[in-house]
Structure 1
Amino acid sequence: MYPQPMARIDPQDNLADDAGALAPLPWDQHRLSKRTAPKRKPLTLKTIIDGALDVLDREGIEVLSMRKVAAEVGVTVSALYAHVRDKDELLQVMYEHVYSQFRVPEPDPDNWRKQIKDMAHDLRDLLQSHRDMARISMGRYPAGPEMIVQLERMLALFLTAGLPVPIAAKAGDMLSLLVEGVVLESDMWNERGIDGDSGDEVRNYFADLPKDRFPRLTEHGPVMFTDSPDARFALFLDVFINGLALYRTAPAEASDAAATEPA
């Protein structure tokens, strides 16, 4: 009996059968990983601003840098320069972004005092929403399309309240300096780890001064430190608004009136 011839085996058949058990060849694995890697989201100015605000809140303006922000958003420093030239421009766009949330109400001459108070409280809340934002704000002019719109409305509010042009034109600047100063002071106390709402030690210090040398400070000095931060802010606003009221003319004449000395 003649031996039966063996069936021809195609090597490719065996490879096909076992393919599921074999790992890809190294060069194929590299090629596949490159092909299936997820695409990186395009870098936008909004992403940069959000990352910069995170760094600012966590580490403060002194530590904020282009390199820190690049690391925060997961890109190289050079990638940031397609959107902002340097740290100063970065601070400017951060400032404009935060202030884009600020809204000035429609002028109401019958409620001008309340409108100014509400506007000041909104601005204070806005500046307190991010660390060192008051410091950034104090060194910049209001700019950007949205900020210009709000500045126009603010000037309209002061004019409608009956303030003469030279006073109305500067009232917004005075108000912003008041608010920025209050927030900046609070930020500085916080950085030093001191509660600005606790003045017992200072009050006691003034009360214990020699009365024969400091009669006014021993009697009235403690009053300087009796109010909470909110109460102090409310008092500052009352003094500011009462000062504006001394310059008021009839609302219809406000846009043409010249500044006069308060009586």
Structure 2
Amino acid sequence: MSPTPQQRRAERHRLGSGAKPAANRRGPSGGRKRPITVDAIVDTAFAIVENEGYEALTMRRVATALETGPSSLYAHVVNKQDLDELLIGRLCAEIELPEPDPANWRGQIIDVCAQLRDQYLRYPGISRAAFAAGLSNLDTLRLTEGMLAVLLAGGVAPQDAAWAIDSLSLYVNAYSLEASLARRRAAGDADDAWVVSRDELMRRFAALPDGYPQTRRYAAEITAGGGHDRFDFTLGVMLDGLAARSRP
């Protein structure tokens, strides 16, 4: 009996890419084309996301870019979910994990999260793939393992550490997705023409009726923050709470 798609994916993740030997291919004009491998599929997928956004990524789009049919991809990548896991795994593999330092565990976790954020922001919208990515990819598990080691070294209880990693990852994913959408709006996408500047928001808040006194009074605070100020603030709040739970 042939292995199921799930079994093939699990075996490949257990052993590595598990790519089949690449066969030489020739294009319509007789020129040699890039062999179909897992790495070639992932590289092509990243190029599509970087240039067109994650929404444009489909198995058919990757196949077209590689000058082949979708069925050729399925010999190496089980389905779109499998491709998503490979993409997130590749990004996680690029993150430098620290040697756990009990005296600096908060700073180490913030640095790892910032690295993951920056990896996601290289490819517009790709953090959307991370929401459904399972923990079957060894590169993704490597990131979880590293974060868990840092938190445990900092005195965080195992259950708190496990759930904290999940919470931090969800926040990084959501923040990166929102930031990617904001960049597209700033670039002038027609569908996002409704987005307004901070100055315009301040004017609108100042003109609110009397039923919104707090929003009017604290409009500057509501709209404040540049760069990754809000990202740093939120991680700080989350880790402060985690540290408080860990105190005797």
Pick the TM interval, shorter chain: 0.7 to 0.9
User: 5+ unaligned residues in a row in structure 1: which ranges?
Assistant: 1-36, 251-263
Deviation at 1:168, TM superposition (A): 0.9
Mean alpha-carbon deviation: is it higher for 67-76 or for 107-116?
67-76
Question: Which of 151, 159, 165 is equivalent to 2:144?
Answer: 151
Match for residue 51 of structure 1?
Answer: 44
User: 5+ unaligned residues in a row in structure 2: which ranges?
Assistant: 1-29, 189-194
Conserved in 2, the CA contact under 8 Å of 1:207 and 1:222? no
Find the aligned partners of 1:64 and 1:166 in 2 and give their Cα distance.
36
The two structures, once aligned, show a CA RMSD in angstroms of: 2.2
Find the aligned partners of 2:118 and 2:104 in 1 and give their Cα distance.
21
Q: Partner amino acid for 2:147?
A: M
Identity %: 32
Cα distance, 1:230–1:166 mapped onto 2, change above 3 Å: same
Find the aligned partners of 1:238 and 1:113 in 2 and give their Cα distance.
8
Deviation at 1:76, TM superposition (A): 2.8
Deviation at 1:239, TM superposition (A): 1.2
Deviation at 1:125, TM superposition (A): 0.5
Q: Partner amino acid for 2:224?
A: T
Q: Match of 1:247, SS?
A: helix
Q: Match of 2:61, SS?
A: helix
The one-character-per-residue Cα deviations of 1:25-66 (angstroms, maximum 9, x if unpaired) are xxxxxxxxxxxx665553211111111111122223333222
| Count of paired positions | 213
Deviation at 1:92, TM superposition (A): 2.0
Find the aligned partners of 1:176 and 1:206 in 2 and give their Cα distance.
33
Find the aligned partners of 1:199 and 1:148 in 2 and give their Cα distance.
40
Match for residue 14 of structure 2?
Answer: none
Within 5 Å, which residues of 2 pair with 1:124-139? 124-139=117-132
Within 5 Å, which residues of 2 pair with 1:1-263? 40-193=33-186, 198-210=197-209, 212-249=210-247
Deviation at 1:122, TM superposition (A): 0.7
Find the aligned partners of 1:135 and 1:182 in 2 and give their Cα distance.
11
Find the aligned partners of 2:133 and 2:139 in 1 and give their Cα distance.
15
TM-score (norm 2): 0.77
Deviation at 1:194, TM superposition (A): 6.6
Cα distance, 1:40–1:233 mapped onto 2, change above 3 Å: closer
Find the aligned partners of 1:118 and 1:217 in 2 and give their Cα distance.
33
TM-score (norm 1): 0.73
Find the aligned partners of 2:229 and 2:196 in 1 and give their Cα distance.
10
